[in-house]
């Protein structure tokens, strides 16, 4: 050390079976989805959480507080992967130097820029200029999906549940480790539909992404055949329950003996 020289602080990374001083931090590129030409470089420790990176992007690009954001990880081969769990560390999320982290903010109409379909311009303008009553919104029939749409409309008009999703309370309770859950994907897909329906900016919403997720986790709902609405409702409520289960680690509870019987 030379007098007046700043200390070179380095963190210790807890790797499997060993502790290692992190000499070189992870250097990644940060940008917004709305302006991917404006890129900044930042360094993070492998022990930092994805939430730390999200906060750094918000600060660097002056993102308004309270904005609902999500992050994408882009590698050199241009493939993108969603960084779903913001509590995961940089090391566990396989984020490495040279990668780009892209942040997108939810649109006012409840959609995400990356998933909004490229449709004809005049119809976009019609949708953007439309202002209706939040919640009074149709759901497009994708082909014998009225069983799903009717269940979604019933849940959409259940005030406590809808307020829970509109206030983004679910973000803090997404459970990515529950073996009975669906890694939070059903909860996120349902939240997207609800936020679009209650934005007041749509005549109707096309729940195609939600339908795809349901079919992915429940093969009986694959395709576009008719199904029982109650079965879909039961699957959805159970899926939301497990994806948002507040019990992260379920303890083993031993059954007690009764009258000296096993």
The reply to whether 96 and 148 lie within a common domain is no
The reply to whether 141 and 238 lie within a common domain is yes
pTM over 0.85: no
Q: CATH number, domain at 139?
A: 3.90.70.10
Residue 92, domain member (yes or no): yes
The reply to whether 240 and 136 lie within a common domain is yes
Residue 222, domain member (yes or no): yes
Query: Mean pLDDT of all residues in the chain?
Result: 87
The reply to whether 136 and 226 lie within a common domain is yes
**Confidence class for position 258, pLDDT limits 50, 70, 90:** confident
DSSP states of the chain: --TTPPP---PEEEETTEEEE-SS-EEEEEEETTEEEEEEEEEE-TTSBHHHHHHHHHHHTTPPTT--EEEEEE-TTS-EEEE--TTSBTTTTT--TT-EEEEEE--TTS--TTTS----HHHHHHHHH----TT--EE---SS-HHHHHHHHHHHT-HHHHHHHHTTGGGGG--SS-TTS-TTHHHHHHHHHHHHHTSS--SEE--HHHHHHHHHH-GGG-SS----HHHHHHHHHHHHHHHT-S-SSPPP-PPPPBTTB-
When pLDDT is averaged across residues 183-203 and rounded to a whole number, the result is 93
| Tens-digit pLDDT profile for residues 3-49 | 888 888 888 888 778 888 988 899 999 999 988 899 999 999 988 99
Residue 54, domain member (yes or no): yes
| Domain housing 26 | 17-105
pLDDT over threshold 50, residue 173: yes
Residue 185, domain member (yes or no): yes
| Tens-digit pLDDT profile for residues 194-239 | 999 999 989 999 998 899 999 999 989 988 888 999 999 999 999 9
Residue 1, domain member (yes or no): no
The reply to whether 152 and 236 lie within a common domain is yes
Residue 112, domain member (yes or no): no
pLDDT over threshold 90, residue 2: no
The reply to whether 146 and 236 lie within a common domain is yes
Please give the pLDDT value at position 30. 94
Please give the pLDDT value at position 120. 34
**With pLDDT > 70 as the criterion, what percentage of the chain qualifies?**
93
Please give the pLDDT value at position 77. 66
Question: Domain boundary residue among 105, 140, 171?
Answer: 105
The reply to whether 171 and 89 lie within a common domain is no
More confident residue, 76 or 118: 76
Residue 2, domain member (yes or no): no
Q: For the chain, what is the domain count?
A: 2
| Tens-digit pLDDT profile for residues 96-151 | 899 999 999 998 888 888 876 544 333 444 555 778 899 999 999 988 899 999 99
The reply to whether 100 and 184 lie within a common domain is no
Residue 171, domain member (yes or no): yes
């Amino acid at each position: 050390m030379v007098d007046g020289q700043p200390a070179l602080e380095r963190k210790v990374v807890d790797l499997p079976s060993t502790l290692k001083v992190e000499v070189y931090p992870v250097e990644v590129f940060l940008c917004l989805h709305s302006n991917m030409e404006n890129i900044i470089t930042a360094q993070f420790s492998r022990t930092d959480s994805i939430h730390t990176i999200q906060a750094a992007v918000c600060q660097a690009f002056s993102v308004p507080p309270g904005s609902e954001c999500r992050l994408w990880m882009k590698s050199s081969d241009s493939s993108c992967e969603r960084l779903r769990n913001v509590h995961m560390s940089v090391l566990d999320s396989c984020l490495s130097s040279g990668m780009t982290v892209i942040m997108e903010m939810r649109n006012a109409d409840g959609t995400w820029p990356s998933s909004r379909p490229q449709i004809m311009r005049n119809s976009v303008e019609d949708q953007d200029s439309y202002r209706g009553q939040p919640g009074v919104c149709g759901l497009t029939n994708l082909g014998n999906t009225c069983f799903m749409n009717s269940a979604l409309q019933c849940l959409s008009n259940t005030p406590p549940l809808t307020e829970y999703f509109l206030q983004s309370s679910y973000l803090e309770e997404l459970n990515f480790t529950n073996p009975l859950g669906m890694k939070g994907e059903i909860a996120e897909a349902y939240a997207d539909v609800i936020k679009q329906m209650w934005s007041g900016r749509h005549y109707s919403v096309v729940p195609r992404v939600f339908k795809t997720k349901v079919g992915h986790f429940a093969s009986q709902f694959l395709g576009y055949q008719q199904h029982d609405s109650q079965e879909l409702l039961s699957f959805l409520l159970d899926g939301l329950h497990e994806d948002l289960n507040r019990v992260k680690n379920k303890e083993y509870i031993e059954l007690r003996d009764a009258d000296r019987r096993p």
